[in-house]
Amino acid sequence: MGCAIIARFEAAAEIMSKTLYDKLWESHVVHTEEDGTALLYIDRHLVHEVTSPQAFEGLRLAGRKPWRVSSIVATADHNTPTTHWERGIEDPVARQQIETLNANIREVGALAFFPFKDKRQGIVHVIGPENGATLPGMTVVCGDSHTSTHGAFACLAHGIGTSEVEHVLATQCLLQKKSKTLLVRVEGKVGAGVTAKDIALALIGKIGTAGGTGYAIEFGGAAIRALSMEGRMTVCNMAIEAGARVGFVAVDETTIAYLRGRPFSPKGDVWDKAVAYWRTLVSDEDAKFDAVVELDARQIIPQVTWGTSPEMVTGIDGMVPAPEDFSDPVKREGVARALAYMGLTPRTPIQQIKVDKVFIGSCTNSRIEDLRAAAAVARGRHIATNVKLALVVPGSGLVKQQAEDEGLDKVFLAAGFEWRQPGCSMCLAMNDDRLSPGERCASTSNRNFEGRQGAGGRTHLLSPAMAAAAAIAGHFVDVRELL
Amino acid sequence: MEKFIRHEGLVVPLDRANVDTDAIIPKQFLKSIKRSGFGPNAFDEWRYMDHGEPGMDNSRRVRNPNFVLNQERYQGASILLARANFGCGSSREHAPWALQDFGFRAILAESFADIFFNNCFKIGLLPIVLPKAELDALFGLTEHTPGYRLTVDLPGQRVIRPDGHAIGFAVDAFRKECLLNGWDDIGLTLRHEEKIRAFEARRRVEQPWLFV
């Protein structure tokens, strides 16, 4: 009898305790189909020029109207140039896409629109948070896989395709099946010169680019708690590179402090009410996850990728591997192909690899903290003679302004870097910022795929401080030696 | 959306893991504001010897003879055989659009990236996850048997080899129903319009800060 009661009590406790994912999910379910496919209500819809035109056109062709335009925050970022704004957009195909966005938003409306050249224009995943348009507990969608970035605010943030963009415009809902949950716990404290980017790359190195497929990742542990919101955004941004469509961090004082006073953050009594709710956006202590991965922050050193997938990564003290190090034939073949593409010889120490270009920017690493970290390394130094171009592209007009207020632009310019206008730029090279075939780039972006930064270009992913260090040295170098 | 019930077609093997969406359709083609016409530029960097840009006459470009999709024996293929983590990378639906426009109706792989997988269902391109051992066998059969064809039977949830061997696969009931009928998701969702409105009205009261 006594045992039965205990068992029942335990069962009840298990039902009661929820992960943050459960809470975010359950609070947005409008309807569930028999097979578990749910209609999730969408609070925030971020829109940019590349993945939206076909969705707006689809809506028009079907004679439908957007459900709630006040959920929309739009900007132009992927295609915009980062120099000579006075000339406008010279590429006629890009210009048409941006003009199409302007026309669509003019027609339907939005909560906020930061068009090309607006002082608050920027990368969609930078402008949402900095304007307080990304708030804890929201579902956030955008036709861009790095929407996971917004999970830093305890949001359920999904990258979606264009059909889904149209679906959200028309219905304010997204059809989704619940994912499994993965807790990534990073305990301990990272050493000086080791950043959120290194945590993200070390994780991907450990679990692989498909390690998180089918999971929603919650990032936790002391090393995550110690990160600023900028750092958390970097980690959540890279969740997709680990295969997870969503990644998030629970609300704490850091979250709340960041949001206070932002343009779209709640004010007055509503702020207090919102904060009280936001504080519930944590996993319950005894919540169960489907899987747990643990990393020791003290073991993480600055990371650099050597191949054409973010999982092809090693510490700065490492070497380029050889295909024969891998037993799985598909993997071995993949490594051989990657090394051929990257123009690398097995067993080359990472620190001996020279770079031609450096890119500091992207939705992963273009926020003020990233620019400060890079500037700290660049200050009083100069880029190496073999570095043809070192670009610093702030994530938004506001980030750019703040960096200039702090004098960071002068630091970069004095060190030989170029200081550009905000946008996605050389992360995906849709504009003129790109690599030429065979050029090697130290990049703070998120993908080192073949051709990503320009056809034939060779990308090595790393943190802003490490990128700045590579620019100064002309090859990869341990930034901890420069601090 | 195009219906998918049963499809029989020529198979082409793309024997590499982690085929990303940048490889499937490079970024320069994403500047289009249309949904169609991406097929000639599917796998552009692997398929052609030169660098492709929008507006080029692709029929005049030199093809890479080593790329499997260019080989004579695979012309007209409509079933793509792939490896793990196919479609990783960006959320661009241009990737499934390009594959569909190229002529593919189904992709068989060990695993798919989530967003790509989801995007395929929205346009009637069927992504099928198969066990590695079955895929290994299919790669061998395809490479060693000229004109190797497979049948994909969605109602029966089976991939059927010419020797009669059938490989079962899983598909969500809701997605299956949508594919079999060619249903438009939006129309389906709008059947729940009242529920959405009620949910929204409640949310507006409980979390007013979301509705500025």
Strand pairing of B6-13 and B149-153? antiparallel
ipTM value: 0.96
Strand pairing of A139-142 and A44-47? parallel
Residue A15 confidence (pLDDT): 62
Q: Are A132 and A265 in contact (CB under 8 A)?
A: yes
| pLDDT-derived band at A3, boundaries 50, 70, 90 | very low
Residue B184 confidence (pLDDT): 86
- The tens place of each residue's pLDDT in chain B, 212 residues long, gives 889 999 999 999 999 999 999 999 999 999 999 999 999 999 999 999 999 999 999 999 999 999 999 999 999 999 999 999 999 999 999 999 999 999 999 999 999 999 999 999 999 999 999 999 999 999 999 999 999 999 999 999 999 999 999 999 999 999 999 999 999 899 999 999 999 999 999 999 999 999 98
CB contact under 8 A, B118 and A161: yes
Taking only residues 153 to 172 of chain B, the set having a beta carbon closer than 8 angstroms to any beta carbon of chain A reads: 172
- Angle A394-A399-A400 from CA coordinates, rounded to 5°: 60
Q: pLDDT tens digits, residue range A253-282?
A: 999 999 999 999 999 999 999 999 999 999
Taking the CA of residue A29 and the nearest CA in chain B, the distance in Å comes to 9
Report, as an integer, the average pLDDT of A49-59. 97
**Which of A176, A213, A427 to mutate to probe the B interface, most B CBs <10 Å?**
A213
Q: pLDDT tens digits, residue range B97-150?
A: 999 999 999 999 999 999 999 999 999 999 999 999 999 999 999 999 999 999
Taking the CA of residue A222 and the nearest CA in chain B, the distance in Å comes to 29
Q: Phi then psi for B129, rounded to 5 degrees?
A: -90, 125
Q: pLDDT tens digits, residue range A317-364?
A: 999 999 999 999 999 999 999 999 999 999 999 999 999 999 999 999
CA dihedral over B22, B25, B28, B31, signed as positive or negative = negative
Q: How many CB pairs under 8 A join A and B?
A: 200
B114 and A CB contact within 8 Å: yes
Taking the CA of residue A388 and the nearest CA in chain B, the distance in Å comes to 22
Nearest residue to A31 via CA among B179, B194, B210 = B194
**Which of B46, B88, B195, B205 to mutate to probe the A interface, most A CBs <10 Å?**
B88
Q: How far apart are CA B151 and CA B140, in angstroms?
A: 17
Identify the H or E element spanning A162: helix A162-171
Q: How far apart are CA A458 and CA A435, in angstroms?
A: 8
**Which of A330, A331, A427 to mutate to probe the B interface, most B CBs <10 Å?**
A330
Nearest residue to A468 via CA among A419, A408, A415, A421 = A415
Report which DSSP code applies to A266: -
CB contact under 8 A, A43 and B210: yes
Q: Phi then psi for B143, rounded to 5 degrees?
A: -70, -30
- Angle A448-A454-A457 from CA coordinates, rounded to 5°: 60
Q: Are B131 and B67 in contact (CB under 8 A)?
A: no
| Burial group, residue A386, by CB count within 10 angstroms (0-12, 13-18, 19+) | exposed
